[in-house]
Amino acid sequence: MAHNEFSLKREIAEILGNDFIIKDNAEGINPVEQTQVVIDSMLYPRQHLIERGFDASWIGLEVKFIKDFSSADRGKKSHLLWQAITYAQSKFNVDENTREIRPYFVVVYVGDFDFQNDEKGKEWWALLNLAQYGNVGWLRINKSPQAGWVIDFNGGRYYSQKLGRGNLKLSQKRHVGTY
159 closest CA partner among 82, 44, 52 = 52
Full-model pTM: 0.88
**Bridge partner residues of 16 (DSSP):** none
Residue 130 lies in a domain: yes
The answer to whether residue 126 is domain-embedded is yes
pLDDT by residue, tens only, the chain of 179 residues: 567 888 889 999 999 999 999 999 999 999 989 999 999 999 999 999 999 999 999 999 999 887 666 566 667 788 899 999 999 999 999 988 888 999 999 999 988 766 666 666 677 777 888 888 889 999 988 877 677 899 988 768 899 999 999 876 654 556 666 55
Which among 142, 86, 71 is positioned nearest to 109, based on CA atoms? 142
Residue 177 lies in a domain: no
Secondary structure (3-state) at 60: strand
Cα–Cα distance measured from residue 122 to residue 64, given in angstroms and rounded to the nearest whole number: 19
Q: Is residue 178 part of a domain?
A: no
Closest CA to 4 of 110, 79, 75: 110
d(CA 118, CA 111): 15
Q: Which domain holds residue 82?
A: 5-172
Assess if residue 36 is contained within a domain: yes
Domain count for the chain, please give it.
1
